[in-house]
C-alpha cells in the first residue's frame, strides 16, 4: 500500500456519499473535512469527519452549492483536494475550474470534460466521432420532407419530437411509414400549442429499453479501463430505485462491445477519475450512448462488490496523479450484486416524503450485506435534501443468492420514526418478472404502480397481529399516562420522586 495521496481532503457533500468518501479517506490515512449547513450539525457525515465547518443556511443553494464559502473553508483548513461526491457541485465545470484556480485538486475529470459531457449536443457529437453508437436521429429541426426521408433511413419505429419539447408534449411514436405524415402534423400542432414553436426532429425509437451503464476509470497517464456494467432499469420517474451488476440477459459479446465503447468514450475525452457511460439497450441487444456521468455514481457499490475494486479510493489516488494501478485483464466479475435505495418516503401514499427523527435504526448485517447509510439512531431527516437515507447492497455467488440475501436483509432492516421505501423493495424482490430478470425501464410503472398506491405485501395473518398490537399499544400508552397523571397529588410526593430520579441518574449516560 502506498502512502496517503494527500494529507487532507474536503468533502463538498453530505449524507451517505460524504460518509462513503470519508471512509475512503480514513482507509487512505487522509484527514477528512466535512461541511454542514445549519440543519446538518447533527448529521452522520459530520460525525465521520476529522474536521467540520459550517457552510451556510439549510437551502443547498446557500450552503452545499455555495462555491465561495466552500473554497474559503478549503483554504482555511488547508485541504489539498475537494471531493464533490454526486449531485450538488459534482458536475459543475465552473466549480472544478474555481478549484483549479484556488490551487485545490478537484477529485474528478478536467473542467472541459465536465463541460462538454454536460452538453447533450456536444456529447453526442464527440461520441459519434469516437464511433460510440448513439441513438440515430437529428437534434436539429427538419422539414416534413427531410423528416420523412430521415425516418426511412433509420428505419421504424421512430419518435417524432418537438425541438422545444419536454414532458412528453409534442412527442409521437411512429411504428410504420403509413402513420408518419399524420404524426408529424399532430406533433407540430401540439408543439406549437405548448411551446409556441412547431419545429420537430426525428429519432430512432428504442424498444423495451433497458438502462445499462459501464463504469469507467481513467488516469492522467492516458490509461482507461472499464469495470463492466450495471443494470439500472428499475426506475420511478426516471429516478433509479434498484440497480444490479452484472446486467440480466447480458452476453459476453455485448459486454465486450459495450466495454470497448465506454473505454473509447473515456479516451475520446481524456477522462480522469471514476465515471460512467450510460447506454440504452433495446430488445435486439443494440445499444446506444445516452450520456456520460462525470462523477462517482450512487450505484457504484454494486460494481465494487463484483469486481473487488474500491472505486472511491481509486478515484482519489487518480486525482493525486497516481496511475489506476491495474489493467483491464486484472479485473473480472465475481458473483452478483443488487442495490436497493432506501428513501425516507411513504410508498403507500404516492411516495410522499417522510421527514422526521429516526427513532429506531437497526441496519441488517451478516454475510454478503453492505449498508451505506447516511443516518443513525437519533438522526433527523429534513426536507431540504435528497431523501435517500441508505443504500442496501447485497452480494451472492449468483443472482438467486443475491436476491435471497436482499430479501433477508430487507426483513431485518428496522427503521422507525420515519416511513421508508423498504416495504416497496420487498414487493419488487418478490415480483415474478424481477425474479426472472426480464424487465425494462417501464417495470415500476407497468408492473407495480397499476394502482396509484403501492400494494404492499399485507397479509391476513399480519393484519390480525397488527389489530391486536394496536390495541395492546394503546392500552399500554393509556395505562402509562394514567399512572403519570395520578402521581402529582402533593408537592411532598413530587419532591421525593425528584430525589429518586436524581439517584437513578447514577450509572447512566450523560
Partner 1 sequence: MRYEVTHGKDVFSVDVHDVGGGIYDVTVDEETPVRIDAAKSPRTVYSLLIDSKQFEGSVDERDDGRLDVHVGSSAFDFEVIDERRKALLSAATTVVQGKQDILAQMPGKIVKVLVEVGQEVSADEGVIVMEAMKMENEIKSPIDGVVTEVSVAEGDAVETDAKLLVIDPPFNQRPFGPS
Instruction: Find all residues with CB under 8 Å of 420, minimum gap 6, and list them.
Output: 342, 343, 344, 345, 354, 389
Choose, by CB under 8 A, the member of 3, 486, 489, 490 that binds partner 1.
Answer: 486
Region binding partner 1 by CB under 8 A among candidate stretches 116-124, 129-137, 227-235, 494-502: 494-502
Closest CA relative to residue 288, chosen from 459, 88, 470, 134: 134
Judged by beta carbon, residue 149 or residue 477, the one nearer partner 1 is: 477
398 touching partner 1, by CB under 8 A: no
480 touching partner 1, by CB under 8 A: no
Contact 216, 265 (CB under 8 A): yes
User: Any catalytic annotation for residue 295?
Assistant: yes
53 touching partner 1, by CB under 8 A: yes
497 touching partner 1, by CB under 8 A: no
Contact 233, 283 (CB under 8 A): no
348 touching partner 1, by CB under 8 A: yes
Judged by beta carbon, residue 321 or residue 466, the one nearer partner 1 is: 466
Residue 483 interacts with which of a second copy, partner 1, none, CB < 5 to 8 Å by class: partner 1
Q: What is 183-198 written as a DSSP string?
A: HHHHHHHHHHHHHS--
Q: At what angle do helices 111-118 and 120-129 cross, to 10 degrees?
A: 100
- Provide the 10 A C-beta neighbour count for residue 337: 29
Torsion region of 73: left, alpha or beta (phi above 0 gives left; psi -120 to 50 gives alpha): alpha
**Residues at the interface with a second copy (CB under 8 A):** 1, 19-20, 23, 26-29, 48, 301, 304, 308-310, 312, 334-335, 359-363, 365-373, 376-377, 397-398, 400-401, 404-405, 407-408, 411-412, 416-417, 473-474, 476-477, 481, 484-485, 488-491, 494-495, 497-498, 501-502, 505, 509-510
Give 212's strand partners. 231, 279
Set of cell numbers at residue 459 = 397479509
Strands 31-37 and 51-56, how do they pair?
Answer: parallel
Judged by beta carbon, residue 100 or residue 473, the one nearer partner 1 is: 473
For residue 380, the minimal CB distance to partner 1 (Å) is: 8
For residue 238, the minimal CB distance to partner 1 (Å) is: 26
Looking at 255, 295, 370, 405, which residue is catalytic?
295
500 touching partner 1, by CB under 8 A: no
Buried b (16+ CB within 10 A) or exposed e, 18-50: bbbbbbbbeebebbbbbbbbebbeebbbbebbe
3-state secondary structure of 100: helix
Residues 457-476 that bind partner 1 (CB under 8 A): 457-459, 462-475
Q: What are phi and psi of 53, to 5 degrees?
A: -130, 140
For partner 1, the binding residues (CB under 8 A) are 34, 41-42, 46-47, 49-53, 77, 348, 357, 359-360, 362, 376-378, 411, 414, 416-417, 419, 423, 426, 456-459, 462-475, 477-479, 481-483, 485-486, 495, 499, 502, 505-510
- Positions annotated as catalytic residues are 295
Amino acid at each position: 500500500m502506498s502512502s496517503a495521496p494527500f494529507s487532507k481532503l474536503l468533502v463538498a457533500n453530505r449524507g451517505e456519499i460524504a460518509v462513503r468518501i470519508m471512509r475512503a479517506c480514513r482507509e487512505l490515512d487522509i484527514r477528512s473535512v466535512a461541511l454542514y449547513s445549519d440543519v446538518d450539525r447533527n448529521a452522520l457525515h459530520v460525525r465521520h469527519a476529522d474536521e467540520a465547518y459550517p457552510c451556510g443556511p439549510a437551502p443547498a443553494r446557500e450552503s452545499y452549492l455555495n462555491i465561495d464559502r466552500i473554497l474559503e473553508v478549503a483554504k482555511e483548513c488547508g485541504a489539498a483536494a475537494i471531493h464533490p461526491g454526486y449531485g450538488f457541485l459534482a458536475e459543475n465545470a465552473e466549480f472544478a475550474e474555481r478549484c483549479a484556480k484556488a490551487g485545490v485538486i478537484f477529485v474528478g475529470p478536467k473542467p472541459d470534460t465536465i463541460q462538454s459531457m454536460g452538453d447533450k449536443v456536444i456529447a453526442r457529437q464527440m461520441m459519434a466521432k469516437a464511433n460510440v453508437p448513439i441513438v440515430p436521429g437529428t437534434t436539429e429541426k427538419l422539414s416534413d420532407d427531410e423528416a420523412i426521408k430521415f425516418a426511412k433511413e433509420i428505419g421504424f419505429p421512430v419518435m417524432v419530437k418537438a425541438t422545444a419539447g419536454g414532458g412528453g408534449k409534442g412527442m409521437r411514436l411512429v411504428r410504420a411509414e403509413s402513420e408518419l405524415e399524420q404524426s408529424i402534423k399532430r406533433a407540430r400542432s401540439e408543439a406549437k400549442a405548448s411551446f409556441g414553436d412547431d419545429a420537430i426532429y426525428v429519432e430512432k425509437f428504442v424498444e423495451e429499453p433497458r438502462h445499462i451503464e459501464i463504469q469507467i476509470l481513467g488516469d492522467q497517464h492516458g490509461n482507461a479501463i472499464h469495470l463492466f456494467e450495471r443494470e439500472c432499469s428499475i426506475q420511478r420517474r426516471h429516478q433509479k430505485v434498484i440497480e444490479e451488476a452484472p446486467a440480466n440477459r447480458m452476453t459476453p459479446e455485448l459486454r465486450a462491445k459495450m466495454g470497448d465503447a465506454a473505454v473509447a468514450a473515456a479516451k475520446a475525452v481524456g477522462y480522469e477519475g471514476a465515471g460512467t457511460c450510460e447506454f440504452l439497450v433495446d430488445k435486439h441487444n443494440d445499444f446506444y450512448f445516452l450520456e456520460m456521468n462525470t462523477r462517482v455514481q450512487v450505484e457504484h457499490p454494486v460494481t465494487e462488490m463484483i469486481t473487488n475494486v474500491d472505486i472511491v479510493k481509486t478515484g482519489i489516488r487518480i486525482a493525486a496523479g497516481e496511475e489506476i494501478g491495474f489493467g483491464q485483464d486484472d479485473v473480472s466479475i465475481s458473483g452478483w450484486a443488487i442495490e436497493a435505495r432506501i428513501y425516507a418516503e411513504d410508498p403507500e401514499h404516492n411516495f410522499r416524503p417522510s421527514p422526521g427523527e429516526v427513532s429506531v435504526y437497526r441496519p441488517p448485517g451478516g454475510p454478503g450485506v453492505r449498508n451505506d447509510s447516511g443516518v443513525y439512531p437519533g438522526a433527523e431527516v429534513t426536507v431540504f435534501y435528497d431523501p435517500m437515507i441508505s443504500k442496501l447492497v447485497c452480494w451472492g455467488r449468483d443472482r438467486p443468492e443475491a436476491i435471497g440475501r436482499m430479501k433477508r436483509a430487507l426483513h431485518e432492516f428496522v427503521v422507525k420514526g420515519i416511513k421508508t421505501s423498504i416495504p416497496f423493495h420487498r414487493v419488487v424482490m418478490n415480483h415474478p418478472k424481477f425474479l426472472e430478470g426480464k424487465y425494462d425501464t417501464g417495470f415500476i410503472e407497468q408492473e407495480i404502480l397499476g394502482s396509484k398506491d403501492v400494494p404492499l405485501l399485507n397479509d391476513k395473518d399480519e393484519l390480525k397481529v397488527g389489530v391486536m398490537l394496536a390495541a395492546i399499544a394503546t392500552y399500554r400508552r393509556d395505562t402509562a399516562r394514567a399512572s403519570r397523571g395520578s402521581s402529582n397529588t402533593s408537592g411532598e410526593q413530587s419532591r421525593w420522586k425528584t430525589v429518586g430520579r436524581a439517584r437513578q441518574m447514577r450509572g447512566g449516560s450523560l
